[in-house]
Structure 1
Amino acid sequence: MTARRFTAVAFALALVVAGVLSQYASPHPDGLMHVAEAAGFLSSESTGRTSGSPLAGYAVAGLRDARLSGGLAGVVGCLACFALVGAVTRRRA
Protein backbone atom coordinates (compact mmCIF):
# COMPACT_ATOMS: atom_id res chain seq x y z
CA MET A 1 0.00 0.00 0.00
CA THR A 2 1.40 3.38 -0.95
CA ALA A 3 1.73 6.21 1.53
CA ARG A 4 -0.87 8.25 -0.34
CA ARG A 5 -3.39 5.40 -0.29
CA PHE A 6 -2.71 4.72 3.40
CA THR A 7 -3.28 8.40 4.19
CA ALA A 8 -6.55 8.44 2.24
CA VAL A 9 -7.82 5.30 4.01
CA ALA A 10 -6.78 6.66 7.42
CA PHE A 11 -8.49 9.98 6.65
CA ALA A 12 -11.73 8.26 5.60
CA LEU A 13 -11.68 5.96 8.62
CA ALA A 14 -11.08 8.87 11.00
CA LEU A 15 -14.03 10.77 9.50
CA VAL A 16 -16.31 7.73 9.88
CA VAL A 17 -15.27 7.25 13.50
CA ALA A 18 -15.68 10.98 14.26
CA GLY A 19 -18.97 11.43 12.42
CA VAL A 20 -20.78 8.12 12.87
CA LEU A 21 -19.29 5.97 15.60
CA SER A 22 -19.08 8.90 18.00
CA GLN A 23 -22.88 8.64 18.25
CA TYR A 24 -22.39 5.46 20.26
CA ALA A 25 -19.91 6.90 22.77
CA SER A 26 -20.73 6.54 26.44
CA PRO A 27 -22.96 9.29 27.86
CA HIS A 28 -21.32 8.83 31.26
CA PRO A 29 -18.72 11.35 32.44
CA ASP A 30 -15.08 10.74 31.64
CA GLY A 31 -12.60 9.52 34.25
CA LEU A 32 -11.55 12.97 35.45
CA MET A 33 -15.15 14.09 35.95
CA HIS A 34 -15.93 10.84 37.76
CA VAL A 35 -13.01 11.25 40.15
CA ALA A 36 -13.88 14.93 40.75
CA GLU A 37 -17.45 13.95 41.58
CA ALA A 38 -16.37 11.06 43.82
CA ALA A 39 -13.82 13.24 45.64
CA GLY A 40 -16.37 16.02 46.12
CA PHE A 41 -14.72 18.89 44.26
CA LEU A 42 -16.75 18.85 41.06
CA SER A 43 -18.77 21.83 42.29
CA SER A 44 -15.61 23.99 42.24
CA GLU A 45 -15.34 23.56 38.46
CA SER A 46 -15.12 26.87 36.61
CA THR A 47 -15.98 27.84 33.06
CA GLY A 48 -13.01 27.70 30.69
CA ARG A 49 -11.96 30.37 28.25
CA THR A 50 -13.15 28.28 25.31
CA SER A 51 -16.62 27.53 26.70
CA GLY A 52 -18.18 30.00 24.26
CA SER A 53 -16.41 28.62 21.20
CA PRO A 54 -18.41 27.14 18.29
CA LEU A 55 -17.39 23.55 19.16
CA ALA A 56 -17.54 23.73 22.97
CA GLY A 57 -18.87 20.63 24.68
CA TYR A 58 -18.26 18.38 21.66
CA ALA A 59 -21.19 20.00 19.85
CA VAL A 60 -21.75 22.56 17.11
CA ALA A 61 -23.35 25.74 18.42
CA GLY A 62 -26.76 26.43 16.92
CA LEU A 63 -27.70 22.88 15.95
CA ARG A 64 -30.63 21.50 17.93
CA ASP A 65 -30.16 17.83 16.98
CA ALA A 66 -27.63 16.52 19.51
CA ARG A 67 -26.56 13.54 17.38
CA LEU A 68 -25.98 15.62 14.28
CA SER A 69 -24.25 18.32 16.31
CA GLY A 70 -21.86 15.86 17.98
CA GLY A 71 -21.05 14.07 14.75
CA LEU A 72 -20.44 17.30 12.89
CA ALA A 73 -18.20 18.57 15.70
CA GLY A 74 -16.18 15.37 15.41
CA VAL A 75 -15.82 15.75 11.65
CA VAL A 76 -14.82 19.42 11.94
CA GLY A 77 -12.25 18.58 14.62
CA CYS A 78 -10.90 15.75 12.49
CA LEU A 79 -10.58 18.02 9.45
CA ALA A 80 -8.80 20.66 11.55
CA CYS A 81 -6.31 18.07 12.82
CA PHE A 82 -5.62 16.76 9.33
CA ALA A 83 -5.16 20.32 8.03
CA LEU A 84 -2.68 21.07 10.81
CA VAL A 85 -0.73 17.87 10.20
CA GLY A 86 -0.75 18.55 6.45
CA ALA A 87 0.58 22.06 6.95
CA VAL A 88 3.35 20.90 9.28
CA THR A 89 4.45 18.00 7.07
CA ARG A 90 4.44 20.11 3.90
CA ARG A 91 6.61 22.70 5.57
CA ARG A 92 9.19 20.07 6.52
CA ALA A 93 9.25 18.45 3.08
Structure 2
Amino acid sequence: TEAICKQIVQKTIESFGQVNIVVNNAAVQFPQKNLEDITEEQLKRTFETNIYPLFFLTKACLPHMKQGDSVINTASVTAYAGHDQLLD
Protein backbone atom coordinates (compact mmCIF):
# COMPACT_ATOMS: atom_id res chain seq x y z
CA THR A 1 0.00 0.00 0.00
CA GLU A 2 1.00 3.61 -0.29
CA ALA A 3 1.18 3.91 3.51
CA ILE A 4 3.64 1.02 3.78
CA CYS A 5 5.84 2.54 1.07
CA LYS A 6 5.85 5.87 2.93
CA GLN A 7 6.87 4.07 6.14
CA ILE A 8 9.71 2.28 4.36
CA VAL A 9 11.03 5.55 2.96
CA GLN A 10 10.70 7.32 6.32
CA LYS A 11 12.68 4.57 8.06
CA THR A 12 15.31 4.78 5.32
CA ILE A 13 15.64 8.54 5.77
CA GLU A 14 15.86 8.13 9.56
CA SER A 15 18.58 5.48 9.19
CA PHE A 16 20.62 6.82 6.28
CA GLY A 17 19.57 10.45 5.87
CA GLN A 18 18.94 10.24 2.14
CA VAL A 19 17.84 8.16 -0.81
CA ASN A 20 20.15 8.05 -3.83
CA ILE A 21 18.83 5.04 -5.68
CA VAL A 22 15.54 3.16 -5.90
CA VAL A 23 15.48 -0.32 -7.41
CA ASN A 24 12.01 -1.67 -8.14
CA ASN A 25 12.59 -5.39 -8.60
CA ALA A 26 9.58 -7.37 -7.39
CA ALA A 27 7.14 -9.20 -9.58
CA VAL A 28 4.83 -12.15 -9.71
CA GLN A 29 2.89 -13.88 -12.47
CA PHE A 30 0.58 -16.86 -12.42
CA PRO A 31 0.35 -19.27 -15.35
CA GLN A 32 -3.07 -19.51 -17.00
CA LYS A 33 -3.99 -21.10 -20.30
CA ASN A 34 -6.79 -18.66 -21.10
CA LEU A 35 -7.43 -15.02 -20.34
CA GLU A 36 -10.89 -16.05 -19.18
CA ASP A 37 -9.29 -18.09 -16.37
CA ILE A 38 -7.70 -15.05 -14.73
CA THR A 39 -9.79 -14.16 -11.71
CA GLU A 40 -10.26 -10.69 -10.34
CA GLU A 41 -8.28 -11.76 -7.26
CA GLN A 42 -5.37 -12.97 -9.40
CA LEU A 43 -5.27 -9.76 -11.40
CA LYS A 44 -5.52 -7.71 -8.21
CA ARG A 45 -2.60 -9.62 -6.66
CA THR A 46 -0.52 -9.15 -9.81
CA PHE A 47 -1.07 -5.38 -9.79
CA GLU A 48 -0.58 -5.13 -6.01
CA THR A 49 2.82 -6.77 -6.41
CA ASN A 50 4.03 -5.55 -9.81
CA ILE A 51 2.57 -2.08 -10.31
CA TYR A 52 1.39 -0.32 -7.15
CA PRO A 53 4.59 -0.70 -5.07
CA LEU A 54 6.74 0.50 -7.98
CA PHE A 55 4.61 3.64 -8.25
CA PHE A 56 4.10 4.33 -4.54
CA LEU A 57 7.70 3.65 -3.50
CA THR A 58 9.08 5.86 -6.25
CA LYS A 59 6.55 8.58 -5.41
CA ALA A 60 7.56 8.49 -1.73
CA CYS A 61 11.28 8.61 -2.56
CA LEU A 62 11.24 11.46 -5.08
CA PRO A 63 11.04 14.31 -2.51
CA HIS A 64 14.22 12.94 -0.92
CA MET A 65 16.18 12.53 -4.15
CA LYS A 66 18.30 15.06 -5.98
CA GLN A 67 19.39 15.48 -9.57
CA GLY A 68 21.71 12.64 -10.54
CA ASP A 69 20.06 10.06 -8.27
CA SER A 70 18.51 7.03 -9.96
CA VAL A 71 15.30 5.03 -10.18
CA ILE A 72 15.77 1.59 -11.74
CA ASN A 73 12.74 -0.45 -12.78
CA THR A 74 13.44 -4.02 -13.80
CA ALA A 75 11.38 -6.29 -16.01
CA SER A 76 11.35 -9.99 -16.68
CA VAL A 77 12.47 -11.34 -20.03
CA THR A 78 8.78 -12.24 -20.39
CA ALA A 79 8.10 -8.56 -21.02
CA TYR A 80 10.12 -8.81 -24.22
CA ALA A 81 9.71 -12.41 -25.34
CA GLY A 82 6.26 -13.22 -24.02
CA HIS A 83 5.00 -16.52 -22.66
CA ASP A 84 1.87 -18.32 -23.74
CA GLN A 85 0.70 -18.95 -20.16
CA LEU A 86 1.77 -15.74 -18.40
CA LEU A 87 -1.19 -13.62 -19.40
CA ASP A 88 -1.62 -11.45 -16.34
> TM-score range, shorter-chain basis?
under 0.3
Scaled by the length of structure 1, the TM-score of the pair is: 0.26
Structure having the higher strand fraction is 2
The higher relative CO (CA closer than 8 Å, separation ≥ 6) is in 2
Structure having the higher helix fraction is 1
Scaled by the length of structure 2, the TM-score of the pair is: 0.27
